[in-house]
Amino acid sequence: MKAFLALCVVFLGITDTVAMSHSLKYFYTASSGIPNFPEFASVGMVDNFPIDHYDSNTGRAQIKQDWMTKVIADDPQYMDRNTQVYLGDQQTFKANIEMVKQRFNQTGGVHLYHSMYGCEWDDETDEVNGYDQDGYDGEDFISLDLKTETWIAAKSQAVIMKHIWESNKAYIAQNKYYYTQYCPEWLKKYVNYGRSSLMRKDLPSVSLLQKTPSSLVTCHATGFYPDRADLFWRKDGEELHEDVDKGEILPNHDGTFQMSVDLKISSIAAEDWKKYDCVFQMSDVKDDIIKLDKSVIRTNEGNSLPMIIPIVVAVAVLSVITVVGFIVYKKKNDKRPPSPVENREVQEEMLPKA
């Protein structure tokens, strides 16, 4: 999913930083038939940190990181422009979800469609990747293959869109420019503004958790940043791949991350527990190792087991569902990365009139 422009050390003013991959992503979602849920919501993210949010309930774009105030200080009209962009997207989504429902011969019920688009940049290799993944009701709908400059229709209902977009040579060129130059340029700007947060490293709190004495033992790490980390069980110093269940890295509400890995202990003899440990690894920091020991396991019996319910930002909810969607929007904006779908040419029947 990404020939990025080089990130100049002088331009960013960054020295002695750890090389890493940065990302700028936008998540759009629209809903139909869900009471008390926004008809439209959008979240922009840099390195998995939400930088702004908009939904149809508030009707106003809001920044989500303190360092975004620097962007506004340099560009006082930034949030007003974004609000107008999102208001336009909201109207487009409201019309298009009805159109998509018609294509699937649906008249009611609960429906969602989303779009996730953006770019990634590796500040060591200078590699760039761009992606646009759309879908409907949790299933792939249509996605961009940037290398071949073609669209992949996952549903027959999306084939007409594929043909229209691929026949528009100007739109293909705009896509290539957006993902290889425009989006990366803005990503670098955001990294520059937020480098004190984005370049940091936070170490986690690692705990062993267990519901009952006979249940799985969970090794849980939370509060770490960035998300390029690993958590695993070992036996006699060797990583285990059997009798373990590794979870995904999930975001916390404060921009840090959490993950867990379960160990099946039913077949482990009591005298062999000392052979096992859980290891948290992150580059350039010392491994955090916790031994499998009954005395340190927190359970529902005796020790209080903390509630491990991820407080996930709105965009994370969108990303858990298959990244999907369909947007057609046609307003230009030179001060914020416009949606690459803004300039998609569509046939009149594809976009219901207001």
The helix (H) or strand (E) run that includes residue 170 is: helix 169-177
Two structure tokens written together for 301: 């019996």
Range among 6-10, 296-300, 342-346 rated most confident: 296-300
In a domain, 317, yes or no: no
Q: Is the peptide bond before 38 cis (omega within 30 degrees of 0)?
A: no
Q: Rounded distance, CA 183 to CA 132, Å? A: 12
Asked whether the predicted pLDDT for residue 12 surpasses 80, the reply is: no
The answer to the question of residue 4 being in a domain is no
Q: What is the DSSP string of 200-234?
A: --BPPEEEEEESSTTSPEEEEEEEEBSS-EEEEEE
> Taking a C-beta distance cutoff of 8 angstroms, is the pair 24, 119 a contact?
yes
Asked if residue 51 and residue 192 are part of one domain, the reply reads: yes
Residue 279 lies in a domain: yes
Number of domain units in the chain = 2
Q: Are residues 230 and 301 in the same domain?
A: yes
Q: Residue 304: its pLDDT value, please?
A: 45
- Enclosing domain of residue 247: 205-312
For residues 36 and 148, membership in a common domain is answered with yes
Judge if 172 and 249 occupy the same domain.
no
Query: Any idea what the CATH number is for the domain that residue 260 is in?
Result: 2.60.40.10
Residue 49: pLDDT band with limits 50, 70, 90: confident
Distance CA 114, CA 27 (A): 7
Query: Whose structure tokens read 């969108």?
Result: 318
| Pairwise pLDDT comparison (325 vs 186), residue with the higher score | 186
**Are 283 and 162 members of one domain?**
no
Give the three-class secondary structure for 257.
strand
Answer yes or no: is pLDDT of 154 > 80. Answer: yes
CB 182 within 8 A of CB 336: no
Q: Is 326 a domain residue? A: yes
Q: Could you give the count of Cα atoms lying within 13 Å of 333 in the half-sphere of its Cβ? A: 25
What's the confidence (pLDDT) of residue 319?
A: 37
Is the pTM for the entire model greater than 0.75? no
With cut-offs at 50, 70 and 90, classify the pLDDT of residue 353: very low
C-alpha span between 1 and 327 (Å, rounded): 19
For tokens 């940065």, what's the residue? 22
How far apart, in whole angstroms, are the C-alpha atoms of residue 269 and residue 266? Answer: 8
Query: Which residue has better confidence, 304 or 185?
Result: 185
Class of residue 110 by CB neighbours under 10 A (exposed 0-12, middle 13-18, buried 19+): exposed
Question: Are 135 and 215 members of one domain?
Answer: no
Residue 164 has a pLDDT of 87
Structure tokens at 98: 């009805």
Q: What is the mean pLDDT of residues 176-195?
A: 92
Mark whether 280 and 341 lie in a shared domain.
Answer: no
Cα–Cα distances in angstroms (integers) from residue 111 to residues 34, 37, 161, 327, in the given order = 8, 12, 20, 15
**Residues 64/51, Cβ–Cβ less than 8 Å:** yes
User: What are 301-314's pLDDT values in tens digits?
Assistant: 554 444 443 433 34
Kindly report, residue by residue over 104-147, the tens digit of the pLDDT.
999 889 999 888 999 998 887 889 999 999 889 989 999 999 99
Q: What is the average pLDDT score of the chain?
A: 80
Cα–Cα distance between 101 and 96 in angstroms, integer? 8
Give the pLDDT band of residue 4 (cuts 50, 70, 90).
Answer: very low
**Confidence class of residue 338 from pLDDT cuts 50, 70 and 90?**
low
Tell me the CATH number at 185.
Answer: 3.30.500.10
State the pLDDT confidence band at 216, using cuts at 50, 70 and 90.
Answer: very high
